[in-house]
Structure 1
Amino acid sequence: MPPRKTALKRKRDANEDANDAKFMDGILKQRTDAASKAAGHEWARQYYQGVPIGKLSGMGCGLHILGSPEVPFQSPFPCDGRFGISSGTGPKGSDGGSIRLIGPKNYWGDSEEGISDAILLVPFRHVEQVIVIPNPSRVAEEDWAYRVIVVPTAATGASSIVREYPQLVSFSWPDNVADKGLAGQVGAAADDKKDTYLSVLKRAFDAHLGTFHEKVIDVSDQTRSRLIGVPSNLSVDSPVQVRVQGHAFFLKTGILFTSESRLVYLPVESIQKAMIVQAHDAKSKNKNDIAGVDVICDVTEPYYEGMEGETAQKALISLGHLEVGILGHLKEYMKAHNIGVMMCQQHFYDYERNVPATGWMPIMG
């Protein structure tokens, strides 16, 4: 197991959304007054998705299925933390199986016993997907081969942009043989001759996701796929303006975007329609050259259930500056998922700096 680290300090990309970075850094601050404690309670309860805790029977109770060592988290807190899986008290965890996230130390006050550390509970009934991807920051995090993404149902589609909570969960995970760093029933029973940290994690998550007819989506070995880990710029046209650099993953169930401060998951059913835009740069000597490809999705909140009088929102989400070589793969992806696509082109004075010369123009024929 890689040595434990102090709170992971990450260099923020110059193009990363400043509001996202400020928000994530602010999470680490100790709660010292009434206002900060109220905000802290709202953050800590985000995965209840508005359900009163009294109706989440057995959450956090039952058998200790899996416990992790300290690993780097990216969200919902940008520091080292741990997670655990509890079975709940009903059949197969149906009424209380949950994920316990243990984050910033001394969050609620100073304590040597850890009783004041931040703890967030994620009920499995509120989990849409668990996804394992190759670590996009492997160079910076050489000991951590994978990223594990937990997608709350209420953070899918446009919800992950237009709603403050809940946030997607993201943490790094090693490519190690199973050892004593793993706790709980599944962790302690691991066979160090054939089990790895990844196989144990998937076994524990699958046991609970199976109750809801889901299983871990693992694309960690698909590093040669042209649609896995594609460098991309995310931008959003909605009441919330976002522009950030990261990586896009075109999965069987939807599109995942990851960066150090922003995570977005678009289930196929959230994408009403899309445009694939071929970008031409005026600085190119050959006017027929395509400088890059943008995918622009008209996205809804597929599972949003608001208070009376509230309505679901939409967002126009762009994954830009994709490499030209994946254009054919993108067309096939959209066709395979029955997503209506309009092929367009756009000319730029400077594509790298996003200075357009024209609007979108449909490609005829």
Structure 2
Amino acid sequence: MFSFAVVAVALALPHAFKSPYYIHLMTLALIWIVLAQGQNLTQGFVGYVSIAQAGFMGIGAYISTLLTMNYGFSVWATLVIAPLLTGLLAIVAGYPSLRVKGHYFSIVTLAYNMVIFIVLMTFRALTGGEAGIPDVPRPSELILFGNVFSFEGRSNLNYYALALLAAVLATTCCALVLHSRAGRVMLAIRQNEDLAEAIGVVTSRYKLFAFVMSSILAGLAGTLYAHYIGFLNPEPFGVDQSLNIILAVILGGSGTLTGPIVGAVSVTFLPELLRFADSFRLITYGLILVMATIFLPKGLVPLVASCWRWLRSSQPIARHNKPTSKA
């Protein structure tokens, strides 16, 4: 019921905030949720911090853009093809890199992101380099139940609904993984990988599964982003963006399903809410993230959950200690 309520609120928000600017921000936040849920699979469930999520997002974005603009594919087809091809590349990259553990894995994925960024910048004939690729097409009109849905326009409610559908599917996918046998093994790896290996678990298989699933969601987010913004260059896919994704998961609550949602919304809207700080906006934003990481190491969602449990547990005590009136 809670999940349905969240989706209902998300559907109602564009009608409450009719400003095209806020609809634009909410659409970006939904794309970020897809991205953060993917990051949470490796970072939160397995305990391996990947610094390549933005790079895989860029791969998905460029694959989709090039397929639609150079080879005549429809955007609807590339919404499936681009994430799957991103996942195949992740298998090639993940198989050797997941043989290392801990911080060494993070260093390897950092190198991956740097290589991806350099390739996107260097191969100008294909990617447009820093100048980018303009006029990336939107999805074609969709006809459902006799109704025509157009996706043109910067702050398009139909594209918002498409991004919301992607965010719901990504969250549902992560929930199914978490509550499956694979999810339980992934959590065991996070707790004690050596012990998991000692009892016969092939940890590399589950780590690769999480890494590939994470990259597929990153590719989906990249595809949605490219065809929403309409202009593509490598800048949004650098290491700094990967660090922002990591911070979003930490801020919301690593290892929880709702944490990436809260974190993604926070990192999307917080810089805009700090516009009053003008030239100090980015510094203030950075300080807030640093302070939140230091003082809220488990994230906002676990903190709220702990407070809620404390309030509920204190209610019976309060009722028990309440003086009874004498007749």
Q: RCO greater where, 1 or 2, for CA within 8 Å and sep 6 or more?
A: 2
- Greater strand content: 1
TM-score range, shorter chain: under 0.3
- Greater helix content: 2
